[in-house]
Amino acid sequence: MSLLVVGSIAFDSIRTPHGQVEEILGGSATYFSVTASWFTPVRVVAVVGEDFREEHFQVFRGRSIDTLGIERVPGRTFRWKGEYVGDMNQAHTLATQLNVFESFVPKIPAAYLETEFLFLGNIDPVLQLNVRRALPNLRASGLDSMNYWIKGMPEELAKVLATVEILVINEGEARMLSGHNNLKKAAESIRKLGPRVVVIKRGEHGATLFSPDSIFTAPAYPLDQVQDPTGAGDTFAGGFMGHLARSQDLSDANLRRAVAYGSVMGSFAVEEFGLGRLLRLTPGEIDARYRELKSQTHFDA
């Protein structure tokens, strides 16, 4: 089933205790779409500059990702430079060049208007709301946001929050958005703002789903080594929304499966720098790790 994502496409320069890379393909829409494409066809709405070449488009086109909505405009593509140290739980931004992303106005191709599943990546909430309103036939929409918008544009964020079914957000940002340190209260309070379902991403501690019916936690899949945490949250969202769009099932049991797929995909993302591991996956590897995650959380009554 059709899944559309709007977000950023970027060239990332990243340093971690395990190495460094320069100007590799990244951005929220990139991690999301490459991940979700393992589950369902994906459409991307984003903007890139003239330095975004055919080889970069091929990363998408080679894998059932429609690039009609990736607008190429004069100028340079968004660049981000960051570093992770110690336990790598926090990215330290060294430089951000918004470039063409600064004046990004998402344009929805006519062919996308019947899209049924939408993910509004972490961009200006005014743009998120415009995209949401442009798609009348949605079965479900998910949203991400961050401290910058929560603090800077709370009213605009509230407007778009009121239009989505699902919020997928980091732990710290759930606390900031709700004003509650307690995560259960934070989720309850956020659910009153609009989203029926709140998924709180907890990094190396997994993710917790707050739905009308229940609370569910999936841990992160334990790895021998985390090479590069960049994109893990967008990858989680890609696995989560990808499974929902594939299955077209918004039941509580299936939302739980979607969280587990999100956790599994996030664990692949961080095994290598950039998109490396996500591009080399097989459906068998995804299913095997999903079953392993299940066995790692099972206990008897």
Q: Is 208 in the site for a second copy (CB under 8 A)?
A: yes
Give the nearer residue to a second copy in terms of CB position, either 61 or 185.
185
Give the nearer residue to a second copy in terms of CB position, either 181 or 282.
181
Q: Is 192 in the site for a second copy (CB under 8 A)?
A: no
Give the nearer residue to a second copy in terms of CB position, either 176 or 193.
176
Give the nearer residue to a second copy in terms of CB position, either 89 or 96.
89
Site for a second copy in 37-66 (CB under 8 A): none
Longest Cα–Cα distance in the chain: 61
Q: How many CB atoms lie within 10 A of CB 252?
A: 13
91-99: list long-range contacts, CB under 8 Å, 24+ apart: 91/229, 91/230, 95/13, 99/49, 99/75
Site for a second copy in 82-101 (CB under 8 A): 86-88
Q: Is 246 in the site for a second copy (CB under 8 A)?
A: no
Which letter does DSSP use for residue 180 in this model? -
Q: Is 184 in the site for a second copy (CB under 8 A)?
A: yes
Q: Is 301 in the site for a second copy (CB under 8 A)?
A: yes
Work out which of 64, 97, 217, 247 binds a second copy, going by CB under 8 A.
217
3-state SS, residue 190: helix
Q: Which of 105, 69, 97, 102 is nearest to 11 (CA)?
A: 97
Q: Is 288 in the site for a second copy (CB under 8 A)?
A: no
Site for a second copy in 120-179 (CB under 8 A): 175
Whether residue 209 contacts residue 187, with contact meaning beta carbons closer than 8 Å, is answered with no
Work out which of 61, 107, 185, 280 binds a second copy, going by CB under 8 A.
185
Whether residue 65 contacts residue 37, with contact meaning beta carbons closer than 8 Å, is answered with yes
Q: Is 111 in the site for a second copy (CB under 8 A)?
A: no
Q: What are phi and psi of 207, to 5 degrees?
A: -150, 150
Q: Report how far residue 35's alpha carbon sits from residue 278's, in angstroms, rounded to the nearest whole number.
A: 7
Minimum distance of a second copy from residue 58's CB (angstroms)? 34
Q: Is the dihedral of CA 143, 175, 14, 17 positive or negative?
A: negative
Binding region for a second copy (CB under 8 A) = 86-88, 175, 181-185, 202, 204-206, 208, 214-219, 222-226, 253, 256-257, 259-260, 290-291, 294-301
